[in-house]
Amino acid sequence: MKWLFLVIAIVIILIVILYNYLVRLNIRCKNAWSQIDNQLKRRADLIPNLVEVTKGYASYESKVLADVVNARNQANTMSDKAKNSEKVSEQLNKLLMLSENYPDLKANEIFKNLQIELTGTEDKIAFARQFYNDTVQHYNTAITVFPNNIMAKMMNYTEKEYFKVNDDEREVVKVEL
């Protein structure tokens, strides 16, 4: 009889440990996504400042400026944010390339600081994407291996989507002025 209770206790302890492990992984995925979201918000906050500074020097490139603003305003869902993030990056590259044609703009301290902030933010976004994908890979693996998959099904955990770049977004950015 003692052995039966001991076996039941061990099974219950293993179930609790497994349950907590899967919950932690799920929360970590959510946290990793929120870090991407935070960096995208930071970039979105910096863009209007960069656009305003640049407008004074590059008034005839208003299409590039409008494209940057439009691209950053179009994301609502996680999937939309992933797709539009690449569009914003492409438009920001075009915007930053404008400084090559405007030496005064390139020398402007405000523009320089904004450019440095945006470059840093783009690096942080890239890191956050990588961290998110690594976390999702760990989570997806954990919920598909035995015996975790049994507990994951009971908890209605499904595989999470990776942060992906579409094939058309992999092309080299062409700057035409």
Domains of the chain: 2-170 (1.20.1440.20)
Whole-angstrom distance, CA of residue 130 vs CA of residue 128: 5
Residue 132 has pLDDT above 60, yes or no: yes
Rg over CA atoms, the chain: 23
Residue 56 has pLDDT above 90, yes or no: no
Q: CA distances (Å), 6 to each of 1, 9, 16, in order? A: 9, 5, 15
- Say what the pLDDT of residue 144 is: 92
Residue 94 has pLDDT above 60, yes or no: yes
Query: For residue range 14-36, what is the model confidence (pLDDT) as tens digits?
Result: 999 999 999 999 999 999 988 88
- Say what the pLDDT of residue 102 is: 61
Q: How remote is the C-alpha of 98 from its chain's centroid?
A: 26
Predicted TM-score (pTM) of the model is 0.62
- Say what the pLDDT of residue 74 is: 63
Helix/strand/coil percent split, the chain, to 5: 85, 0, 15
Q: Peptide bond before 103: cis, by omega within 30 degrees of 0?
A: no
Q: How deeply is 94 buried, as exposed, middle or buried, from its count of CB atoms within 10 A (0-12, 13-18, 19+)?
A: buried
- Say what the pLDDT of residue 58 is: 53
Do 127 and 40 form a contact (C-beta atoms < 8 A)? no
Q: Which residue has the higher pLDDT, 149 or 57?
A: 149
80-83 contacts: CB < 8 A, separation 24 or more?
Answer: 81/36, 81/37, 81/40, 82/163, 82/164, 82/165, 83/166, 83/169
pLDDT grade for 141, boundaries at 50, 70 and 90: very high
**Percentage of the chain modeled with pLDDT above 70:** 58
- Say what the pLDDT of residue 60 is: 44
